[in-house]
Amino acid sequence: MGGWRVKAKEALKQVSITARFLCLLHVTNNYLFSPTLVYGPSMLPTLNLTGDVVLSEHFSHRFGRVRPGDLVLLRLPVDPAKIAVKRIVGMEGDRVTFFDSNATDLLQTLVVPKGHVWIQGDNLYASRDSRHFGPVPYALIQGRAFLRVWPLSSFGSLEQ
């Protein structure tokens, strides 16, 4: 009669361990660090066209600790289901000058509004960024990429 109780207790223990592991994994991946596969031409030559795995942290942007020059993961304002990696070029209050591709390559200057950042890809000829959709709300930033972990031949810091 007591055999099923022992088995039930063991099964409950296994479920508890699994649940704790999944909670730890969720917190780590969403609030601390996560690996991200980044590919495409917009960040050439910093990141490879065929793909790099970068480690990103998810806490500095919550405390206002990102700055111009940082590579950030962000939800695209034109398609919030997509995450992109771009470089912060200007913070709120900064004056940015850029070629406006929407207006036949006229040189434009604007002040980044409060609560927004100006982002651009390193490859200006193949990047859809703030030059196309304007300043990005700070709330769309998901994390800051700081370390390339793959390919191993390019392992190292992404800090400028």
Domain that holds residue 55: 35-157
- Predicted TM-score of the model (pTM): 0.76
Give me the CATH number covering residue 85. 2.10.109.10
> What are the CA-CA distances from residue 35 to residues 3, 56, 71, 73, 82 (Å)?
44, 6, 14, 11, 16
User: Is residue 16 a part of any domain in this protein?
Assistant: no
Q: Is residue 5 part of a domain?
A: no
CA dist 115 and 137 (Å) reads: 6
Which candidate in 42, 56, 127, 130 is catalytic?
Answer: 42
Q: How confident is the model at residue 1 (pLDDT cuts 50, 70, 90)?
A: low
6 pLDDT higher than 90: no
Q: How many structural domains does the chain have?
A: 1
Catalytic residue among 56, 86, 127, 130: 86
Catalytic: 13?
A: no
Is 7 noted as a catalytic residue in this protein? no
Residue 46: inside a domain:
yes
Mean local confidence (pLDDT), 17-32: 82
In a domain, 4, yes or no: no
The pLDDT of residue 87 is 93
Tell me, yes or no, whether 14 lies in a domain.
no
Q: What is the pLDDT of residue 116?
A: 93
What does the alpha-carbon distance between residue 96 and residue 52 come to, in Å, rounded to a whole number? 29
> Does the pLDDT of residue 118 top 90, yes or no?
yes
Residue 18, in any domain of the structure: no
